[in-house]
Amino acid sequence: MNKLMVESINEYMDEIIERWTTRMKEEKGERFFHFMPDHLVDKTSREFAELMTSNIRETSSIDSDKINEFTEKIVRFGWAIKFVNKAIDNFSNVVFELLEEKDVITDENLRRFIVLFSSWINPLRESIIDAYSTEWERTVSLQKIALQELSASLIPVFEKISVMPLVGTIDTERAKLIMENLLEGVVSQRAEVVLLDITGVPVVDTMVAHHIIQAADAVRLVGAKCMLVGIRPEIAQTIVALGINLNEFTTKSTLQRGMQAALGMTNREIVEVNGQ
């Protein structure tokens, strides 16, 4: 029975792939099959078919390496999980229809084939979807790490003056990192003035303001001054409307002005020299 099915599938493989590709092209909102070069579509289809038929034989179990490799590829191609599921459905339907047409599946053995099909497709679907979601989780956690690496480094600009540019949304986790890096940096760089640049922070709500105020207080405790720069006009207005008190802060509109002020606070200034 199994043997019969494997042999028939192998025999009609080209036709199966062709029908499957046609059907996948008809799927709504599908971009892969329309915009990819033909040879790539063909290659991917073949790989998919091979993967699909790899576990039909009773002796061979699901090859997880192969599945992982393939899902990694389709995640990169941007196949949605819904689409992957549809691909599996279509494949099993196409195979079933074809075997019926070729009289491999007849009225007598229909029941047995149905059982065979579900024991073939279901574990396969499970492992493919499992591999797919694992791949996504990996991507997300990698991006999280990448995001953390982006967070907040304190850069020494002049002697006694350091800058921390803040870019992006500040959540609780990042706020903690900012605080740690700021304090460690101030001590190790012997900074006397620290400029916090919030040009790249999209929204300053009470939570963000609270974290900034706390960070500034902590900086004061280790003996340095904290200056807030890069306050865009719309941010200034929302800060006022929220009623956040930043009176104890020195604030400047841009990093440039902040830097001039910081030099002034450490008794220095930038002087133009006459070039010869």
Interface residue list for another protein (CB under 8 A): 169, 171-172, 202-207, 209-210, 213, 233-235, 237-238, 241-244
Query: What are the φ/ψ torsions at residue 266 (nearest 5 degrees)?
Result: -105, 25
Find the shortest distance in angstroms from Cβ 122 to another protein.
Answer: 31
| 124 or 209: CB nearest another protein | 209
Q: How far is the CB of 204 from another protein (least distance, A)?
A: 7
- Given the complex with another protein, which of 4 and 213 has the nearer CB atom? 213
CB of 75 to another protein, least distance (A): 21
CB of 258 to another protein, least distance (A): 21
Residues paired with 163 in a beta bridge: 155, 195
Quick one: tokens of 274? 């006459």
- Going from the C-alpha of 155 to that of each of 96, 166, 190, 231, 239, the distances in angstroms are 65, 12, 12, 19, 26
- DSSP for 149-211 reads HHS---EEEETTEEEEEEES---HHHHHHHHHHHHHHHHHTT-SEEEEEEEE-S---HHHHHH
The nearest distance, CB 252 to another protein, in angstroms, is 19
- Output 77 or 136, the one with its CB closest to another protein: 136
The crossing angle, in degrees rounded to 10, of helices 206-221 and 233-242 is 90
Distance CA 216, CA 247 (A): 12
In the bound state with another protein, the residue whose beta carbon lies nearer, of 65 and 149, is 149
Strands of the chain, DSSP E: 155-158, 161-167, 193-200, 225-229, 250-252
Q: How far is the CB of 207 from another protein (least distance, A)?
A: 6
Minimum CB distance to another protein smaller for 7 or for 205: 205
C-alpha–C-alpha distance, residues 208 and 224, integer Å: 21
Nearer CB in complex with another protein: 208/219? 208
Please provide residue 230's backbone torsions phi and psi, each rounded to the nearest 5 degrees. Answer: 80, 35
Closer residue to another protein in complex, CB, 64/143: 143
Maximum separation of any 2 CA atoms in the chain, in Å: 101
Q: Is the separation of the CB atoms in 48 and 91 below 8 Å?
A: yes
